[in-house]
Chains A and B, each alone.
Chain A
Amino acid sequence: MKIKLKPLHYAIATLALAAFLPFFITNDYYMMLLNRVLINIIVVLGLNFITGLTGQMNLGTAGIFALGAYSSALFTKYTNLSPWLGLVTAIIMGVLIGRGLGYPSLRVKGVYLSLTTIGFGEVVRLLIANTPKLTGGTQGVRNIRPYHIGSYQFQTQKEMYYLFLVFTAIAFFCAWRIACSKWGRIFKSLRDNAEAVEMSGVDIASCKIKAFTVASIFGTVAGAMYAHYMGYINPSTFNLDLSTNYVIMLMVGGLGSVTGTIFGSAVVTILPEMLRFLGNYYQIVFCSIILLGAIFFPDGWVSAVTVLFKKVYQRAAKGHYAEGGE
């Protein structure tokens, strides 16, 4: 008797696994890595809407992330209100950025868009660094308060993990629903053939802007989480390398794949740490692995594994038929 496994069952199973994970981890170092992975998953879920589904290049994710982090941090610092309101500020900032970035993306395509987004990311970083009176400049913002419910503060790595797990589950659910909905299908078709979509009577402009807005909201929310998690932020973190890392996470997970974002974020966050035993060579080995992955497994490493399984399965099946001779 075969039980039809619905996606909902997968989701519950994964969530349960994730919830029990901290019981097996005693080391704060590993908990911290998991928390990082959760934040990165949310960013990449957002990036997926721009680059994965609609196929537009975005190399300015660090700028979006930075604006989310700074808007929440500065809001809570200057108004002394709860970090949850900081989160709301970040969402509003996300909507603004989405509109702001969405309109240029209509005029600018392909490689030009990648340059524009790089420019955007750099301008954000430089502006934050050079307005010390507002943002603290290069000295950063300190003493950012962690999230709290009533008087219970989310301080330790484990507490943060559960909070972030809730955020990530919500984000994942939203992203998945959007990707599977009418909008998701339009986004995917935009990547494959924008003219055909236009001819079908869909307003591409508003679609692209919607994609950017959704992506920016995810990015700024993750940024706010990051700020209240680290307790201290400064602009040098939000550079082109960070934007590149997010795109790598997307690539490793597979462009357009929502579930792939989990894997991609996990790999790019955890693999360099796992490779530290290589001493001086761990950076170059990590970069080489990613490069080889980009050349040989462009659809993401997950697809590579499934391809492998299929091949093994087919070979096994062939062998069976050859023997049975039917």
Chain B
Amino acid sequence: MGTILQLLISGIAMGFIYALVAIEYTLIWNSTGLLNFSHDKIITVGAYIFAATFIVKMNMNKPLAIVLTFMLMGILGAVIASGIFNPLRHMRSNIFAVMGTMMLGRILAEAIRLIFGPVPFTIDNWLSGTIRIGTLMVTKANVIICVVAILVVIALQLFMNFTKVGKAMRCVAQNKKAAALMGINVAQNICITTAISAIICSVIGMLIIPLFNISTTMAASIGLKGFSAGVIGGFGYLPGAILGGLFIGVVENLAVAVLPAVYKDIVSFVLLIIFLLVRPSGFLGKKA
């Protein structure tokens, strides 16, 4: 019984990470109709900039480092939007944008290796430690991720519903032509959306450092599973991302309680395929 509970808790903890990943790529999907296949590398870049440059090299205090990382990642997001998303979304087929983001991902990975070196590392005293309740254990980092994920969703909902820029983003997501006719600068809007998405990526990057350590492949698996989370929860619907993430996290863990543990990855992909075939709008999404 204790094992099942622990698996549930760990599953929920991982689930919130998947949820955050689903949120950041759903933002871009909503506004551009494109999937950002380089998001896991952007997460890694965020982690590296935070840890390697600010903490290790410049020895800054952490709050300042966080703010600076957000700024830099926001700029990176805007650059990616103007360089890749805006030119490529007008193509007659989505394949160009998809390949563009994949190439971007590879370039980012190589850039990280060339700039920061290939040695994996970690930073001390950053969100470390655990909380114990009886025989059950959850790491502080996981708790913080859970709280941050919920805060991010609330903040985004408020932003999208009550600010001018946010409302403009929703218009662009629904119908770009109409939005443009209404005087919304679609290209600029996409830049802002991507910048926000990149900042969320950097948040994810910073939060998973104590769990996964910093290396070039730290975010590879959560990237693809994040896609599954978004689809299952409700493609394009932000609160659905949390539901989808939790669902995958828990099912994964419980499944390998009965199956051999090596099939863990297969579980999330099979779930993805089943949902795409049977119910592409996920649990909470609206039917297209």
Contact = CB atoms under 8 A, between A and B. Distances in A.
Q: CB atoms of A and B under 8 A apart anywhere in the complex?
A: yes
Interface of A: 51, 55, 57, 59, 104, 107-108, 110-112, 114-116, 118-120, 122-123, 126-127, 129-130, 191, 244, 247-248, 251, 255, 280-281, 283-284, 287-288, 290-291, 294-295, 298
Contacts of B95: 51, 57, 247, 251, 255
A290 B87 CA distance: 15
Contact count band on B: 35 or more
Given A283-B106, A284-B114, A294 B96 contact: yes
B103 A287 contact: yes
Given A111-B35, A284-B107, A284-B114, A251 B99 contact: yes
A116 B96 CA distance: 18
Contacts of A280: 114
Among A110, A119, A123, A287, chain B packs the most CB atoms within 10 A around the CB of: A119
Interface stretch (B184-192, B194-202, B269-277): B269-277
B276 A122 contact: no
Given A247-B99, A283-B110, A284-B114, A119 B88 contact: no
Contact of B96 (A59, A281, A283, A298): A298
B231 interface: yes
B84 A295 contact: yes
Contact of A115 (B93, B102, B111, B272): B272
Contacts of B87: 295
Given A280-B114, A281-B114, A295-B88, A115 B99 contact: no
B107 A287 contact: yes
A102 B273 CA distance: 14
Contacts of B34: 111
Nearest to A137: B262
A55 B93 contact: yes
Contact of B93 (A107, A255, A283, A291): A255
B115 to A, nearest CB: 11
A186 to B, nearest CB: 18
